[in-house]
Chains A and B, each alone.
Chain A
Amino acid sequence: MSGPPRLSVRNIRKSFGTHEVLKGISLEARDGDVISLLGASGSGKSTFLRCINLLEIATEGEIFVDGEEIRMVKKGGHNQPASQKQVDHIRSELGMVFQSFNLWSHMTILQNVIEGPVHVLKRPRAECIAEAEALLEKVGIVDKRHAYPAHLSGGQQQRAAIARALAMKPKAMLFDEPTSALDPELVGEVLRVMRALAEEGMTMLVVTHEMSFARNVSNRVVFMREGVVDSAGAPQDMFGSGASPAFRQFIGHFGQA
């Protein structure tokens, strides 16, 4: 692939008070990369993802989205974004899918999906509705478009949330444990949508505990431990003989060889 990486993160550090959660993490995602971020609870996976779209502000480090650097200024020894406008713009270019779906409860599914395109991107409403319906068709819930989130199952809500993120035509998608809040029988329908996205070439960064996804869908696996990247590589290497002892022990908990 030519051109700048979709996502480039260099030496990110993040502290909450005196607690340093991220201790210098770098990562690059090229067009079409599907990267699984694995790690024990508390290893900083969510914090890392949230630093990328600036829901948290990294204490140190550089972030580039499609070659554009997020400008920071030092304020009292801490990084602060130089421009809120740029922050909003960068966020609109990155799709985020949360563990708890976070659909807007006062809007129907269709309204949720067109909200960003219409009000943030200021695109014509009719066009956005047509695209939203196509997206909802794709994730298999077009018949629910006039329902409110509270009336949908968790799996349906998460698929709607994915459609909402896709409606922004993002340069990359960030997933934070998208199936962890779901009943086991609903996990598959969400993973299928994510797999289809990966096959279409969407650039994806996925925090997950679904080893099958990491192994079979992603083309890179990053294992985080205590705020650093312990090891990273292609899934066949990571899950094969090349695994670090810590990663071997970690996947041992999931009943994987």
Chain B
Amino acid sequence: MTSLQLLGFGPGGWGALLLLGALITLAVTATALAIGAVLGALVASMKLSRNLPLAAIGHAYTTVFRGVPELLIIYLIYFGGSSAVTAIGQALGYEGFLGLPSFLAGALAVGIISGAYQAEVYRGAYLAIAPGELEAALAVGMSRRLRLRRIVMPQVIRFAIPGLGNVWQLSLKDSALISVTGLAELMRTSQVAAGSTRQYFLFYIVGGSLYLILTSLSDRIFRRAERQADRSQSVAMIGRG
């Protein structure tokens, strides 16, 4: 078979599976980003809290999950989670191994890590809000909730977009590590294709290119979002790009 046929969509071609792998990579990363957004917002508000024990927990979270290798977290969630599920199964009278769905475990693991990075992004974004604007919100009689919704959230999102772009990029690459759980995302699919056709060079290059396409596409989307969010900023910044 020629390279073109190997990469094609005909019989024996890996094109469809590679595309599916890329879609799964996108889906697992997007899920991880969403999980990380919730965790990150929670951890950021803990770190910003004046309650010292809460702040310490938040601090510990970001230290641990940025400091420990991603692969270890994935093993921990996947195998640790699976043995927990198995134990529960046994307690309910089911003998044998119960696996955690690899998509869920992977998204959770990458999401937990992404949450640590997102927490830093949100914390920085909150601190970038001019204190005077928060005071003006108090002075006009806004309740805490209203302040959060009308003044804090829109500005946190605006200031967080560039940082979130970086976190997305990181998570996209981290998602390749989920291949160890057997999830047929882009990395795993490239690996299987390379192994079964013995065309290692071809499939790893193609896999790498697909990752590059995903990252550069998402980079453009984040840049556009950033420009959109910056329209309220100075004239000089609007002229940029």
Contacts and interface: CB of A to CB of B under 8 A. Distances in A.
A53 interface: yes
B59 to A, nearest CB: 26
Interface stretch (A18-26, A95-103, A235-243): A95-103
A12 to B, nearest CB: 18
Interface string A124-149: 00000000000000000000000011
Contacts of B142: 88, 116, 119-120
A218 interface: no
Interface residues of B, number: 24
A39 B143 CA distance: 33
B132 A100 contact: yes
Nearest to B141: A92
A119 B139 contact: no
Nearest to A120: B141
Interface string A146-157: 001111000000
A246 interface: no
A104 interface: yes
Given A105-B155, A119-B146, A119-B150, A148 B233 contact: yes
A171 B96 CA distance: 74
Interface in B125-169: 130, 132-133, 135-144, 146, 150-151, 154-155, 158
A188 B149 CA distance: 36
Candidate in A96, A104, A120 with the most chain B CB atoms within 10 angstroms: A104
B141 A55 contact: no
Interface residues on A, range: 20 to 34
A235 B154 CA distance: 46
B169 to A, nearest CB: 25
Contacts, number: 78
A92 B11 CA distance: 71
Contacts of B150: 115, 119
Contact of B133 (A88, A102, A148, A150): A102
Nearest to A85: B143
Contacts of A116: 140-142
B196 interface: no
B232 interface: yes
A105 B133 contact: yes
B143 A88 contact: yes
A89 interface: yes
B139 A106 contact: no
Contacts of B133: 102-105
B140 A91 contact: yes
Interface string B211-241: 0000000000000000000011111000000
Nearest to A89: B141
A164 interface: yes
Interface string A49-78: 000010100000000000000000000000
Interface string A204-248: 000000000000000000000000000000000000000000000
B161 to A, nearest CB: 13
Interface of B: 130, 132-133, 135-144, 146, 150-151, 154-155, 158, 231-235
Interface of A: 53, 55, 84, 88-94, 96, 98, 100-108, 115-116, 119-120, 148-151, 161, 164-165, 168
23 contacts: A88-B141, A88-B143, A91-B138, A91-B139, A92-B140, A93-B141, A96-B139, A96-B140, A98-B135, A98-B139, A102-B130, A102-B133, A103-B133, A104-B136, A106-B155, A106-B158, A108-B232, A115-B140, A116-B141, A119-B142, A150-B232, A164-B136, A168-B141
Given A91-B141, A104-B136, A150-B232, 10 more contacts: A55-B138, A55-B139, A92-B141, A94-B139, A98-B132, A105-B155, A105-B233, A106-B232, A119-B142, A168-B141
